[in-house]
Amino acid sequence: MATLTSTGYRTAILGGTAFVDIFKYGCIEVRTGPQPATADDAATGTLIARITANGGAWTAGSPTNGLRFLQDGPRIVNDPVEPWVLKGEATGEAGWFRLVGNTPDDGQFSLTAPRIDGTIGLLSDTTDIQLFLPTVSITPATSIVVPYWWYGLPPL
């Protein structure tokens, strides 16, 4: 599947709020199975990992260990000053991710929560993948540094 954006994200970005502010101090959830049909839909699969600053524990509403973004021309990239680390929370195979903002998001259907969903695959994959990892097999002991992440509006 392709990258999917929620109604909440589209409303915010078209309303004049910058991406770096919409998702400031958010996190990326890594889940099993296929991604939902839309980013407005409830999260599916099991939450098996999170990508946070330095791999630390993350709680919505707190800036602690939340991700920060920079604008680099027409792209948004991870802030290279702060390492992003995927930390396993359960055992399973990574299938998709959901970027969420720092405001509480219960993962249920929402037309207001800012979200971006995408697929996960191996570094060697040549299909439509948005987050490449060295392994999709995740356990609570998994720790993977994410050296580079970017997002851009199509066409790219």
**Rounded CA separation 107/57 (Å):** 18
Report how far apart, in Å, the C-alpha atoms of 140 and of each of 12, 21, 64, 69, 87 are.
34, 30, 21, 26, 7
- Over residues 83-123, the pLDDT tens digits come to 999 999 999 999 999 999 999 999 999 999 999 999 998 88
Taking all residues of the chain, what is their mean pLDDT, rounded to a whole number?
A: 93
State residue 1's pLDDT score.
61
- Over residues 91-100, the pLDDT tens digits come to 999 999 999 9
Pairing of strands 75-78, 69-72: antiparallel
